[in-house]
Chain A
Amino acid sequence: MLRRLATGLVVLWAAATAAYLALLAAPGDTVDAIIGDGADTPLIRAQIIQEWHLDRPAVVQYLDFLWRALHGDLGRSYLLQRPVAEVIGGQLAPTLTLASSAGVLGVVLALVLAITTRRPWARRVSSTLELVLVSTPPFLIGIILLSVFSFRLGLFPVSGGQGFASLVLPAVTLALPVAGVLTQVLRDGVDRALDEPFVVTARARGLGERAVLVRHALRHALLPAVTLIGWLFGILLGGAVIIETVFGRPGLGQVTLNAVTSEDMPVVLAVVVFSAFVYVVLNTLADLAYLIIDPRLRRS
């Protein structure tokens, strides 16, 4: 576990460093980016250089960045002139709501589909559906849902981030591809487990088919699915950027997108470091879940 934590920290450090290097490699003058459309005088320039410590050597700036990041200080946004932590923190809630409801919906959908579609015809229908879901760009799913449920039927608001009604379509849009992939993985895991000798033993005890599935096979199928937690997070966060654009929702995705288009590097950097952090935390949790599910990995 300690080792796992250490690797997590290394990954985090590598991610932050890579992001920082990318920042250094960025073309254009940092001062120009900060000034943007504001007044441009030598005096202001000097002030900016002083305020952002741009006169120090790159190594010092890098160490300074790491040191401050370690304390949760991710710098100030060039554009908004506010601490980055504040900018991100303010927009975290809507994205978190969207991602978590989509994640839960996707996982539940996948579990239900993987268990209920065991008969050959149901399986065929379901796996075709999964293939389509997995291959469809999420923004297309969003646009189709919008076009049908908002424009045609008027059931849900077209855009906005207020209330439950505005959450339904974005969450469904994001959950569908997740469900598609997870169902495939779970079904494959169940199929594999059902071929194992212990299933023959379980059946020979007089255990019913449903019980074999739920009590034995599903648990084995969860193992490969748990490994996908990191991927799931990527899909949810990356998807949030797109879904928020499609549905006009506020959130982390919008913040990121704006920062990228306006070259607001501290914000971009912060989002990257933050997402790497969440990824590492989730993967550590996945390892824990592994230990809970599979006793063979526990050290006796």
Chain B
Amino acid sequence: MISVRDLRVTFPVGRTVVEAVRGVDLDIAAGECVALVGESGSGKSVTARTLVGLAGRGATVSTSRFEIDGKDVRGYGERDWKRLRGSFAGLVLQDALVSLDPLRTVGAEIGEVLRIHKAPGDVVSLLSAVHVPEPSRRAKQYPHQLSGGLRQRALIASAIAAGPPLLIADEPTTALDVTVQAQILDLLAERRAAGETLLLISHDLAVVSRLADRVLVMKDGRVIESGDTASLLAAPAHPYTRELVRAVPSAASRGRRLSSTAVPDSVALDAEGPPEGAADSVVIRAEGLRKTYGRHTVVDGVDLVVRRGEIVGLVGESGSGKTTVAQLVFGLVPPTSGTVAFEGAPWTGLKERRRRPRRRRLQFISQDPLSAFDPRWTVRRIVGEALAGKSGAVPLLERVGLSADVLDRYPRQLSGGQRQRVAIARALAPRPSLIICDEPVSALDVSVQAQVLDLLADIRATDGTALLFISHDLGVVHHLADRVLVMRDGSVVESGPIDDVFHHPQHEYTRALLDAVPTLEVSQR
């Protein structure tokens, strides 16, 4: 169906040229599902978009063979591509909230495809084909009025409207909650069973393993390994693929390191003893936390205990209230009712002035470390500030696997992983007894995520710092946490030691969550 040899795509960046794709060979046969897997910057998206002539503005594409349905398309102009787009291949991008025009109804977006290609069919039947309930009502709605899952279905409906034999799905489930992701993957599997050819682009090996017949692993613009899904994931030949498979956190990965890069054997920063008055080992104790905004209850009766040196996971889908719990515990917003005690003394209900002296014992790491740094400050100043005049910036950075080179850089000059390490270094500097981590690895590539997770595990082991670890990713939590709380609609539906909860879930919601998680089963064989 598609045959490409030695595909190269370059982009002008400033005065130089960046080669995003460096000689990719790709064949897709009718009816199969092929997956391109890679981390950010691997060139997987550009490769996929080039297949419909949308490499991007200013891109230069060169290839020794480029055939679609046996026809050489190398000389194709914009007009020829226009004819192919939508009718030969449909494109589904991540997050329909921005991939569908927010100013137009989903019906108008789908209808547009039908009109362009003068295709038979109608909007309502297309929406019902992707299992959107009440299709005629939904067609009149705007993307922001639909839930994430429905939006994504509408986007898929628009991609298949003109009946293209090929569907290109670029990270189609990345922005979705795990249960919704499972539904969308089912829908794609259904299209596939109906004879559609599927090209899947994803960073997530687990997602890929569920759908694809064949996998191509990309790195730095090249395909480094390819083969049929089961055997490639079971016995990866290339070191990078091995590292990638190994880096996926899950129940099976508990207790072992995810990354192969060794962190230098650093001495533990001597943990300061608990302050006087903290007789028991409970670092934080929250009771009956409730938070309402107007008539809206965001957190409803949450009890939470974290002991010294413990990692407690807090999982839930978006809107479950887990981030609000973090803010309540951190003392950024006051609870509507309920109390938090920190190191045995009251924490809520105090004036900020009285909390300030104890603030440094409770630290916070957020998902987006870039916004967590003052853009005008260098790493030296950021870490120096956190050390409050004490020396030891370099050992601290080494502790988190960074060298002194980064000292004089600004946060924006660092990679995502480096930034998160600096954030961890800053949080460690005042020797806190608890660090609240709100989705600390969600924005990171899987190999970088592995390194950061390893680092967090090390810190707990050597320093005895407790972590309240908030995440939507059950695999990450199962890998790292000792105990877990599962939240839904503001309340905790289930809690307990991690293996008990995840292996023998009592609540049906926990069970549904766990069932929805795509797992990389092959890696355990």
Task: Tell me, yes or no, whether A and B come into direct contact in the complex with CB atoms closer than 8 A.
Answer: yes
Contacts from A to B (Cβ < 8 Å): 196-198, 200-209, 215-216, 219-220, 293-296, 300
Interface hits, B101-139 → A, CB 8 Å: 101-104, 109, 112-113, 116-117
26 contacts between A and B (CB under 8 A): A197-B94, A198-B98, A198-B102, A200-B49, A200-B91, A201-B93, A201-B155, A203-B54, A204-B54, A204-B89, A204-B90, A205-B85, A205-B116, A206-B82, A206-B83, A206-B86, A206-B113, A206-B117, A208-B82, A215-B112, A216-B101, A219-B103, A293-B103, A295-B102, A296-B102, A296-B103
A273 shortest CB reach to chain B, Å: 37
Please measure, in the bound complex, the distance between the C-alpha atom of A223 and the C-alpha atom of B116, giving whole angstroms: 27
With A203-B54, A204-B52, A204-B54 already in contact, the answer to whether A197 and B113 are too (CB < 8 A) is no
A205, B113: Cβ atoms under 8 Å? yes
A198, B100: Cβ atoms under 8 Å? yes
With A201-B91, A205-B86 already in contact, the answer to whether A300 and B145 are too (CB < 8 A) is yes
Please measure, in the bound complex, the distance between the C-alpha atom of A16 and the C-alpha atom of B162, giving whole angstroms: 60
B144, A201: Cβ atoms under 8 Å? no
Please measure, in the bound complex, the distance between the C-alpha atom of A216 and the C-alpha atom of B109, giving whole angstroms: 10
> For the complex, is B281 an interface residue (Cβ under 8 Å from A)?
no
Across-interface contacts of B90 in A (CB, < 8 A): 204-205
Across-interface contacts of A208 in B (CB, < 8 A): 82
Say whether chain A's binding surface is mostly helix, strand, loop, or mixed: helix
Interface hits, B135-182 → A, CB 8 Å: 142, 144-145, 155, 158-159, 161-162
Q: Which residue of chain A lies nearest to B88 when distances are taken between CB atoms in the complex?
A: A206
Please measure, in the bound complex, the distance between the C-alpha atom of A201 and the C-alpha atom of B102, giving whole angstroms: 12
> For the complex, is B87 an interface residue (Cβ under 8 Å from A)?
yes
B85, A203: Cβ atoms under 8 Å? yes
With A205-B112, A205-B116, A295-B142 already in contact, the answer to whether A200 and B84 are too (CB < 8 A) is no
B340 shortest CB reach to chain A, Å: 35
B79 shortest CB reach to chain A, Å: 8
Q: Which residue of chain A lies nearest to B91 when distances are taken between CB atoms in the complex?
A: A204
Q: Which residue of chain B lies nearest to A194 when distances are taken between CB atoms in the complex?
A: B57
A-B pair number, CB within 8 angstroms: 79
> Contacting A198 at CB < 8 Å: which of B54, B101, B116?
B101
> Contacting A200 at CB < 8 Å: which of B54, B142, B145, B162?
B54
Say whether chain B's binding surface is mostly helix, strand, loop, or mixed: mixed
A198, B99: Cβ atoms under 8 Å? yes
B145, A197: Cβ atoms under 8 Å? no
With A196-B98, A201-B155, A296-B144 already in contact, the answer to whether A207 and B103 are too (CB < 8 A) is no
Please measure, in the bound complex, the distance between the C-alpha atom of A206 and the C-alpha atom of B78, giving whole angstroms: 10
> For the complex, is B32 an interface residue (Cβ under 8 Å from A)?
no
Please measure, in the bound complex, the distance between the C-alpha atom of A212 and the C-alpha atom of B54, giving whole angstroms: 14
B52 shortest CB reach to chain A, Å: 6
With A209-B78, A295-B144 already in contact, the answer to whether A197 and B93 are too (CB < 8 A) is yes
Across-interface contacts of B144 in A (CB, < 8 A): 295-296
List 18 additional contacts besides A197-B94, A295-B103, A295-B142; criterion CB under 8 Å: A197-B93, A197-B99, A198-B99, A201-B93, A202-B112, A204-B89, A204-B90, A205-B162, A206-B83, A206-B117, A206-B162, A207-B82, A215-B112, A216-B101, A294-B103, A295-B144, A296-B102, A296-B142
Q: Which residue of chain A lies nearest to B145 when distances are taken between CB atoms in the complex?
A: A300
Please measure, in the bound complex, the distance between the C-alpha atom of A209 and the C-alpha atom of B101, giving whole angstroms: 16
Please measure, in the bound complex, the distance between the C-alpha atom of A81 and the C-alpha atom of B83, giving whole angstroms: 73
Please measure, in the bound complex, the distance between the C-alpha atom of A295 and the C-alpha atom of B140, giving whole angstroms: 12
Interface hits, B330-349 → A, CB 8 Å: none
Residue among A206, A219, A294 with max Cβ neighbours from chain B (10 Å): A206
Contact indicator per residue, chain B 284-307, by CB within 8 Å of chain A (1) or not (0): 000000000000000000000000
> For the complex, is B458 an interface residue (Cβ under 8 Å from A)?
no
A197, B95: Cβ atoms under 8 Å? yes
Please measure, in the bound complex, the distance between the C-alpha atom of A203 and the C-alpha atom of B112, giving whole angstroms: 11
Please measure, in the bound complex, the distance between the C-alpha atom of A295 and the C-alpha atom of B107, giving whole angstroms: 14
A158 shortest CB reach to chain B, Å: 48
Q: Which residue of chain A lies nearest to B103 when distances are taken between CB atoms in the complex?
A: A219
With A207-B112, A207-B116 already in contact, the answer to whether A201 and B84 are too (CB < 8 A) is no
Q: Which residue of chain A lies nearest to B108 when distances are taken between CB atoms in the complex?
A: A215
Across-interface contacts of B87 in A (CB, < 8 A): 206
Please measure, in the bound complex, the distance between the C-alpha atom of A155 and the C-alpha atom of B226, giving whole angstroms: 76
Across-interface contacts of A203 in B (CB, < 8 A): 54, 85
Please measure, in the bound complex, the distance between the C-alpha atom of A202 and the C-alpha atom of B91, giving whole angstroms: 9
Please measure, in the bound complex, the distance between the C-alpha atom of A197 and the C-alpha atom of B155, giving whole angstroms: 12
A78 shortest CB reach to chain B, Å: 52
Please measure, in the bound complex, the distance between the C-alpha atom of A276 and the C-alpha atom of B138, giving whole angstroms: 43
